[in-house]
Amino acid sequence: MELGLKGKVALVTGSSRGIGRGIALGLAEQGCDLMLTARDVKALEDVAQAIRAKQGKSAVRALDLREPSAAETLVEAVRHEFGGLDILVNNAGATKRGDFFALSDADWQDGYALKFFAHVRLARAAWPLLKERRGALIAIGGTSGRKPEKQFTIGSSVNAAVAAFTKCLADLGKQDGVRVNCIHPSLVETERQWRRIRGEVERTGEPEAKIRAQFCREAGLIRYGTVEDVANFVSFIVSSRATWLHGATLDLDGGEIPVL
Ligand SMILES: NC(=O)c1ccc[n+]([C@@H]2O[C@H](COP(=O)([O-])OP(=O)(O)OC[C@H]3O[C@@H](n4cnc5c(N)ncnc54)[C@H](OP(=O)(O)O)[C@@H]3O)[C@@H](O)[C@H]2O)c1
């Protein structure tokens, strides 16, 4: 299916590894030019190299999105490198898990600085460019925002906030011609999940396949998601094939969320 993404410019946060890297490579595969960003410049250069190897165009800007000035700097870099922006994927996020009473104010502030305030600042800074090209914005939340749990108080709260912010931006997008949607992935195979699986294999001595099956069963999934599952979905949502999708918060979760 032709998605009509050739020559579009996309900014994907957290594109040095994991889901963001997968989304960036997926969009590049569809012919988008990519602005890659995270803190690890070496990892970003590796992704840029992978895109170049397939004749794609990309630029790299390493920064810490928790810094208040980072969003403006990044959008300025996009303007400078590409002259405009069609797609913004607010993906970078990391929140500390654990006992609620052991989590400090600093843990909460850190989680919100990256996964909420960076989304807000980037949306604000990139909006005029997105408006100019009638572009699309995707926020990556997480199913914990729909199924909050005691061991994931920060992540659950921030993902719910990301979904609410998506709805607000989508309302604004109606008047400005910017399409805004949010994806809530469940467990996706990235380094953080592999760490968790390895840890449980070491703790129990059970085979990896058994631990994987157990985690999926406990979470109610048919299987772990892959970064390609998320990347394919993002490419479709931002494409010319999905222009009636607006303001949606979509569970991409292998069946985890069993409610309407
Ligand atoms: N994996 C899952 O199972 C899962 C499930 C539901 C939702 N999600 C959500 O999906 C998104 C991506 O998750 P992931 O598993 O791919 O995470 P990941 O593998 O930990 O990657 C996070 C990305 O964000 C970047 N990043 C982290 N801190 C940053 C900072 N302060 N400034 C700028 N960039 C920063 C990281 O690069 P640097 O370290 O180089 O900065 C990396 O590129 C997150 O929002 C996460 O909450 C993931």
Residue 192: its pLDDT value, please?
A: 86
pLDDT 10s digits, 59-118: 999 999 999 999 999 999 999 999 999 999 999 999 999 999 999 999 999 999 999 999
Instruction: State the chain's mean pLDDT as an integer.
Output: 97
Query: Could you give the angle at the alpha carbon of 106 between the alpha carbons of 104 and 112, nearest 5°?
Result: 110
Q: What is the separation of C-alpha 189 from the centre of its chain, rounded to a whole number of angstroms?
A: 14
DSSP character at residue 98: S
- The mean pLDDT of 221-234, rounded to a whole number, is 97
Beta-bridge mates of residue 11: 35, 88
**Phi and psi torsions of 139, nearest 5°:** -105, 135
Whether ligand 1 lies within 6 angstroms of the CB of 225 is answered as no
> In a 3-state reduction of DSSP, which class is residue 167?
helix
Whether ligand 1 lies within 6 angstroms of the CB of 73 is answered as no
Residues 6+ apart with CB under 8 A from 70: 63, 64, 118, 121
For domain 9-187+228-244, give the fold: Rossmann fold (3.40.50)
| Ligand 1 nearest-atom number relative to CA 22 | 16
| Residue 247 burial class via C-beta count within 10 angstroms: exposed 0-12, middle 13-18, buried 19 and up | middle
Residue extents of the structural domains in the chain = 9-187+228-244, 189-224
Nearest CA to ligand 1 atom 17: 18
> In a 3-state reduction of DSSP, which class is residue 227?
helix
Q: How confident is the model at residue 7 (pLDDT cuts 50, 70, 90)?
A: very high
Tokens found for residue 182: 């949010």
- Rounded Cα distance between 98 and 216, Å, is 20
pLDDT 10s digits, 133-159: 999 999 999 999 999 999 999 999 999
Q: How confident is the model at residue 1 (pLDDT cuts 50, 70, 90)?
A: confident
Whether ligand 1 lies within 6 angstroms of the CB of 169 is answered as no
